[in-house]
Structure 1
Amino acid sequence: MVTTQFSTKDRILGAAEELFALHGFGGTSLRQVTSRADVNIAAVNYHFGSKENLINEVFRRRMDEMSRRRLELLAEARETSPGALEPLLAAFIEPALALARDRQGGVAFIRVIARAYAEKNDGLRKFLSEQYGHVLREFAKAIAECVPQLDKEQLYWRLDFLAGALTYAMSEFGLIKRPATVSEVAHRKRAAEELIRFAAAGLKS
């Protein structure tokens, strides 16, 4: 019985993620979600209670693991490379790029992130701030120790630019496309290396 419930919940989340990526949050109805997931509205209400909570859970499904991995790598970087900026940036960047290359819906989720930037959704922004704001604060604190010449406002401006550049790199909208002769793993590694260099130079300047 538990397995069936989880399977239904996952189907709803997967369908919602795909539809939010295609049509946005406002442009997707619960009826469309239930139709794609092949469930009835009662199942959505049972698992999520509301459309707003469904949107939040689409993010939680991906971001809980990414945030856990970021903090794990951050702790490792601070322990093994104290005072070094690049390992901290790697801890922030690499888990996000790994998520973007996840074949199980990673590409759709990146489009959902783009929707979150484009659409004004105060409830979602509040949820993300409450659930994951501590992760960004931990990175800001660690990075600030490496660039003491920056005041807090300068630091947060540059971290905001880093987040934007990372989102762009995750989406692969840019000029650099993966050559057919290069594996996804190698391409992701190169993207991370270049973004780390770029971000380190911007933060140190």
Structure 2
Amino acid sequence: MQKALIVWGGWEGHEPQACARIVEDILIGLGFEVRVEEGVQALGETDLSDLSLLVPIVTMGKMSREMGQTVSKAIASGVGLAGFHGGIGDSFRDCSEFQYIVGGQFVAHPGNVITYDVNITRPDDPVMQGISDFTYTSEQYYLHVDPAIEVLATTTFSGAHDPWTAGTVMPVAWKKRFGAGRVFYSALGHKAAEFDHPQMRRLFTQGAAWAAR
């Protein structure tokens, strides 16, 4: 049986514990043996090499350099990494190695919670099966991204809140490789209730499954 580790903590505004429970249910439904740990200590105390998937949900979290090296080694060896919104997109900012793994970093969400369109750019990709363009209400993440990511979905900024962003096309979801490991990221998921959105939930579920092979 494939093993997954979820670590949760950080900023409470993103409801990390509630999100961890939802992700746990998703992964159990995919057939994983799931371990859930509060805080990042498990990243330094656990042999991560026997995992199929690691899911951090730790907005604004911090990790030591040693933890970063442990995670990097595990992903490079073939452990999958999946995450969403600030859980990995706005976390471990003082660990550049982690940002290198993820492939992007949150920098702004003009207008805060707004309604915007998500456009599927790779409809034939296995991660995107059954998912078509959809409208979404949440924070529209403006990210700094690695040009090597494989973009699966995008959103276009209207400029209604920060006029200089008008027309900017921004990745919403991507996948990438890090050594032998697979990495999946979705910018969606500001609150736990957003997993009730069928397209959002399917996107994360299929992305996590892909990352874990």
TM-score, normalising length from structure 1? 0.27
* Structure with more of its chain in strand, by fraction: 2
* Structure with more of its chain in helix, by fraction: 1
Q: Which has the larger radius of gyration?
A: 1
TM-score, normalising length from structure 2? 0.26
